[in-house]
Amino acid sequence: MARGYRHVSADSHFEAPPDFWRHRIPEQYRDRASRRIRLPNGHDGLQREGRPLVYGGTSFYGGRPPEEFNPAIIDFDNTPGCGSAEQRLREQDQDGVDAEVLYALEIRNPAIRDRDAFTGIIHHFNEFMAEEYCAVDPERLIGVGILPNRGVEDDIAELEHCKRLGFKAAWLATYPSGRGFPSAEDDRLWAAALDLDMPLTVHTSFPTKVGTRETPLFNYSQEPPGERRPPTDFVQRLARQGPYHSGSVEASQMVVAGIFDRFPRLRIYWAENNVGWLPYFYEQIDHEYTTNRFWAERQMGLPRLKRLPSEYLREHAYWGFFEDHVGVRLRHDVGVDRMMWGSDFPHIVTRWPRSMQLLDSQMQGVPADERHRMVAANAVDFFRL
């Protein structure tokens, strides 16, 4: 903690136009990468392979007053948070933030089906992010490396590449195998991340369907046929106790899969989910597990866990929050050492350039040492800053 970080946003976003990084993409893939186009109305559009034209969205809020924001407009040149690295540092100073952990969510376009093009764009964007953008001030611009998540071999190769580039973490958009549930081959990626000392993070959640008998959230070792199949999915019963698309699905899957038993040093950070729901979630998944584990063991071949689900998550899961007065009040039930504040700049929940006022409001009555842990020290520890 040599720099003396006071406020670290553990969830912010890179939203600069593709013009900034397209030159790093090899010519044979460049036409497959996103491009900025000028619309007849004078604003910007994003053209992405296999997807409708993007002409707006809440990712380009940039701290505008709610009364003025128009989600049907993209204006890169005049939106805070969408400019150069030098501009970003000035915006951090305006907000009282010492550093930001930056997710480039729009770079990973699953609509690109060609494996070489998909992985090539990610590979070379990672180089741009590390060698050009974050290199302007790597202590303040903390890029998160992107993994392709279409196969463990590709993920390990890109994880090693990200480590060489100096990234502080890597982003999982789904399980390394590319499936919507954990599998045995994923273990190679968990092991590689630990060997490389590379933290792993999930941004909100993986794309997933709500688990049912027809779309299970787990690859069970045995599946009773026909009418003998239970009319419910075991992992779904745990995950539904928390908000879907807020990390509850992956957290439940990872626990039931025994990942944290096999890799006791593994830690995962779920960014931008808020935390007020977690004490209830922890209580209820333990209840669901103790009630349902017997039939799941008999009929689905599910191995018995060594500990209660909440015990794994209290040790292995970190959670991001942005504006969550309830979560801060329940911080001891969540775990003060497992909470990380993020501004989400320039997305729509940001309060830039007034993040300090928001934090002061949330942190009323919170001791200084606990506040520091949630707004800086946990991020410093997790990302090895």
Who wins on pLDDT, 227 or 166?
166
For the segment 18-36, the average pLDDT, to the nearest whole number, is 96
Confidence of residue 207 (pLDDT cuts 50, 70, 90): confident
Residues 234-243: tens digit of each pLDDT: 676 676 656 6
Q: Looking at residue 240, what is its pLDDT? A: 63
For residues 360-376, average pLDDT: 97
Residue-level pLDDT at 231: 56
Percentage of the chain lying above the pLDDT 70 cut: 90
pLDDT of the residue at 180: 85
| Of 105-114, 218-227, 307-316, 362-371, minimum mean pLDDT range | 218-227
Q: What pLDDT was estimated at residue 232?
A: 62
pLDDT for residue 179: 87
Higher pLDDT, 34 or 226: 34
Task: Tell me what pLDDT residue 39 has.
Answer: 95
pTM for the full model? 0.91
Of 49-63, 208-222, 303-317, where does mean pLDDT reach its minimum?
A: 208-222
pLDDT of residue 5 exceeding 80, the answer is yes
Task: State pLDDT tens for residues 246-289.
Answer: 899 899 999 999 999 999 999 999 999 999 999 999 999 999 99
Instruction: Give the model confidence (pLDDT) of 113-146 as tens digits.
Output: 999 999 999 999 999 999 999 999 999 999 999 9
Q: Is the pLDDT of residue 294 over 80?
A: yes
Confidence of residue 1 (pLDDT cuts 50, 70, 90): very low
The strand pair at 35-38 and 44-47 is best described as antiparallel
Among 3-7, 143-147, 213-217, 287-291, the minimum mean pLDDT is found in 213-217
pLDDT at site 347: 95
